[in-house]
């Protein structure tokens, strides 16, 4: 015959099963209690942890390269620059204002104006700046330093032979800068030359010529 459980016995069985179920559930879940440090349960330690990809900006984008910077305003200079080409001189045309944007030559002009460099050095720097303006660089070119040969100043007796820009002249130079291509049976010369007249406040580039031959 089947045994029937009394209500008190059934209640005790249900309470025991409930306590077992609750203990098993709590063993696999983390319950954070206030005031206690966080502890991972066994269930959490085996759980896969997702890692978010870290986005890193390339260093090249954090700092702009020097040659990518927009050019600033030109260095102010204390002297006026003028130029007349060989063709303009042959046609008896006057000189025009010369604009040299290179910071190096503009700084050199200020150094000469303050008495810190010679007129010969300044003449070499001016013809170099003009050469760099007109020259198309490339492989196999050998670029040589500029030269500036000082010329004798005209005295009052030779006033009739004076030309434009000769008033108040301190020094006159025949300046030249060239590059030579000598590679694979090809020989070529790129040259810039001019008469550079320097006074205390002006620089006159006269009879300027740039050419490539060969």
* Predicted local distance difference test score (pLDDT) of residue 63: 42
* Predicted local distance difference test score (pLDDT) of residue 184: 87
Calculate helix-pair angle for 103-113, 119-134, nearest 10 degrees.
160
* Predicted local distance difference test score (pLDDT) of residue 5: 59
pTM of the model: 0.63
* Predicted local distance difference test score (pLDDT) of residue 187: 94
Give tens-digit pLDDT for 32-81: 545 555 544 444 444 555 555 554 444 433 344 444 455 567 789 889 99
d(CA 32, CA 48): 20
Please give the C-alpha separations between residue 141 and each of 126, 130, 148, 211, in angstroms, as whole numbers: 21, 17, 21, 15
State which residues of the chain have pLDDT below 50.
Answer: 2, 28-31, 33, 39-46, 55-68, 157-159
Please provide the DSSP assignment of 182-194 as one string.
EETTEEEEEEEEE
Q: Say whether 151 sits in a helix, a strand or coil.
A: strand
* Predicted local distance difference test score (pLDDT) of residue 87: 97
96 neighbors 87 (Cβ within 8 angstroms)? no
């Amino acid at each position: 015959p089947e045994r029937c459980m009394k209500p008190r016995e059934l209640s005790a069985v249900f309470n025991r099963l409930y306590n077992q179920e609750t203990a098993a559930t709590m063993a696999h879940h983390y319950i954070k209690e206030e005031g206690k440090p966080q502890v991972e349960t066994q269930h959490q330690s085996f759980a896969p942890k997702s890692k978010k990809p870290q986005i890193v900006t390339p260093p090249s984008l954090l700092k702009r390269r020097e040659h990518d910077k927009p050019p600033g305003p030109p260095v102010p200079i204390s002297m006026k620059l003028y130029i007349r080409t060989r063709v303009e001189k042959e046609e008896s045309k006057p000189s025009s204002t010369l604009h040299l944007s290179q910071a190096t030559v503009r700084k050199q002009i200020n150094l000469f104006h303050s008495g810190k460099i010679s007129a010969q050095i300044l003449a070499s720097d001016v013809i170099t700046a003009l050469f760099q303006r007109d020259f198309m660089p490339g492989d196999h070119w050998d670029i040589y330093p500029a030269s500036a040969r000082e010329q004798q100043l005209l005295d009052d007796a030779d006033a009739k032979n004076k030309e434009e820009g000769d008033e108040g002249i301190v020094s006159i130079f025949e300046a030249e800068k060239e590059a030579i291509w000598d590679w694979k049976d090809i020989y070529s010369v790129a040259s810039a030359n001019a008469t550079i007249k320097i006074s205390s406040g002006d620089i006159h580039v006269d009879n300027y010529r740039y050419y490539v031959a060969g």
